[in-house]
Amino acid sequence: MSQLAGKAISYWIASTSHAPNFPSLTNDTLVDVAIVGGGIAGITAGILLKRAGKNVALLEADQIATGVSGHTTAKVTSLHQLVYAQLIKSVGEERARIYANSNQTAIERVAKFVEEEKIDCDFSRTSAYTFAETTETLNDIHSEVEAAVKLGLPASFVTETSLPFAIAGAVKFDNQAQFHARKYLLHLAKLIAGNGSYVFENTRVLNVEEGNPSRVVTATGIVRARDVIIATNAPILDQGLFFAKNYAKRSYIVAARIDRAKAPQGMYIGTSNDYYSIRTTPAPDGGLLLLVGGGGHKVGTVTDTQERYLKLEAYVRSRFGVEEFEYRWSTQDMVSFDQLPYIGKVAPFSNHLYVATGFSLWGMSKGTLAGMLLSDLILGIDNPWLKLYDSTRATPFVTVESLKNNLEVGFHWVGDRLKGLENSSFADVEREEGKLLTINGHKIAAYRDEQGQIHAVSATCTHLGCIVNWNSAEKSWDCPCHGGRFSCDGKVLHGPPVKNLKRYKA
Ligand SMILES: Cc1cc2nc3c(=O)[nH]c(=O)nc-3n(C[C@H](O)[C@H](O)[C@H](O)COP(=O)(O)OP(=O)(O)OC[C@H]3O[C@@H](n4cnc5c(N)ncnc54)[C@H](O)[C@@H]3O)c2cc1C
Ligand code: FES
């Protein structure tokens, strides 16, 4: 097994307090609005609803902002790689303008929270760039600039950047932002708790029963609320079929020290599918960390995920001349097939259950605008963004990409049952290896740790029964169907599943 560089933890989490900040739910509680999920979407909705006078309970399975929002690159921008030229074609100019305005408004919403609440979160204004290294995708860059300018965005075409390598051209958006996402979210979460509102950590929601009021069910108590928001990144409720309207994409980030003189200014992302995402962030000792992300793939489809880190390290070494890496981490987001998030009611017949998902790796702005839109919906305020993001909209099940994805899910459901048939003994599993076994007819996911001890769990995902796949770098069992993830001991790490994998004795 190769030695990966840097500590295996997100810089945002490593540089903030690990002590539990909020209690777990221990008693049944009644509030106006229950919010499931303490990431950027849930916390933004929570603070806005509390400010509007609602009593709120925010329930987080783990700790606040340790999900995707604690592992992001934290660029706050309306430049989403290449999206505007395509959106004008697919939804028309009027709706593309809503996308542009809502994401720009979200940046200003973040900036305003930082200013109003004096949030110490390394917030800074900077430019965002999508760059083409070669002329191959230069036409896409030109089309994006043209579309963005037409929509009133602060866009221009440039050929010079502060990247330490030549590019063919880039879209540049002025006056965008970057921040320390976890510092920002922890501060807002603290403002939610108190005066009849609550934040509960280490409280996994197992089910939500819609009613009057609705019941949010956990192992340690029930929260009753008139309105409930599901902001769990991948929705934990299957109504609305969001698991089939999105797919989960996992991506990798490394952080290395860089001299200020050599550091790029601004935030960058490449074109092509094999893109890299680049920014810097201030380190606590006054130095600078370079963050570079890339290597994305559909969750559960790559076992040798270490190779993704190694490729990323090699890219950073060759392009930026850095040697030492301090941190590495990975995370995933729900990607929607029509590029638009789903924000609104869980299902057309549902009156008080709301959802936000499908941020497609741009949830710092889209999670913020989701919180704004959901808060308006609950407060009965008309919001013009709803017609674009409405979660109950007719969805493109017939796009080639979504058909392919859902067919692949079907193949996994059937075909993956044959995986591991040839291995029938724990002796087949090497040290630091994860393997699927069939023992007495049971599909078992077994991992042998460094000390030689076997960790054995059911290989059948507790969401809809697909067979999980080993992820070597994160030592987790990842589901190729809808992106659910479990630790090597079967604990849920990422939804949609809410139940752990059954454990077996080795
Ligand atoms: C590698 C990578 C880099 C990215 N970089 C950027 C970027 O630079 N800019 C940008 O705009 N976006 C970026 N994104 C996307 C952005 O980070 C996400 O869209 C956003 O953080 C998602 O926020 P969320 O609130 O939906 O999810 P989360 O932050 O994951 O919050 C959901 C929370 O729900 C909790 N939860 C789950 N199930 C339950 C349950 N049953 N009960 C209670 N709680 C539960 C989870 O523990 C989690 O804390 C990136 C994404 C990736 C993958
Ligand atoms: S996440 Fe849906 S079956 Fe595993």
In the chain the domains, ranked by start, together with CATH numbers, are 122-179+248-336 (3.30.9.10), 416-504 (2.102.10.10)
What is the enclosing helix (H) or strand (E) of 35? strand 29-36
pLDDT digits (tens, 9 = 90+) for 134-193: 999 999 999 999 999 999 999 999 999 999 999 999 999 999 999 999 999 999 999 999
Pocket probe for ligand 1: among 69, 200, 208, the residue whose CB has the most ligand atoms within 8 Å is: 69
Query: How large a percentage of the chain has pLDDT more than 90?
Result: 86
Q: Is 70 exceeded by the pLDDT of residue 197?
A: yes
How does DSSP classify residue 300?
Answer: T
Alpha-carbon gap, residue 402 to 244, rounded angstroms: 8
Q: Is the pLDDT of residue 233 over 80?
A: yes
Please choose from 232, 334, 413, 463 the residue to mutate so as to test ligand 2's pocket, defined by most ligand atoms within 8 A of CB: 463
For 130, 259, 294, 301, the CA distances from 316, given in Å and listed in that order, are 18, 14, 11, 25
Q: What is the rounded CA–CA span in Å between residue 402 and residue 103?
A: 25
Evaluate: CB of 299 within 6 angstroms of ligand 2. Answer: no
- Residue 228: C-alpha distances to residues 21, 184, 493 (Å): 23, 23, 22
* CA distances in angstroms from 422 to 301, 449, 455, listed in the order given: 20, 22, 19
Work out the pLDDT band at 505, boundaries 50, 70, 90: confident
At 321, which amino acid appears?
G
CA of 180 to the centre of ligand 1 (A): 14
Give me the pLDDT at residue 2, please: 56
Q: How far is the CA of 42 from the centre of ligand 2 (A)?
A: 23
* Dihedral angle computed from the Cα positions of residues 154, 157, 158 and 164, in that order, rounded to the nearest 10 degrees: 80
* CB distance 268 to ligand 1 below 6 Å: no
Query: In 3-state terms, what secondary structure has residue 411?
Result: helix
Q: Is 408 exposed, middle or buried (0-12, 13-18, 19+ CB in 10 A)?
A: middle
Strands 433-439 and 442-448: antiparallel
Q: Tell me, in angstroms, the distance from the centre of ligand 2 to residue 489's CA.
A: 17
Q: How far is the CA of 233 from the centre of ligand 1 (A)?
A: 5
Per-residue pLDDT band for 488 (boundaries 50, 70, 90) equals very high
What count of other Cβ atoms lies within 10 Å of the Cβ of residue 399? Answer: 13
Each residue's pLDDT tens digit, 274-302? 899 999 999 989 999 999 999 999 999 99
Distance 484 CA to ligand 2 centre (A): 5
What span, in angstroms and rounded, lies between the C-alpha atoms of 67 and 329?
Answer: 12
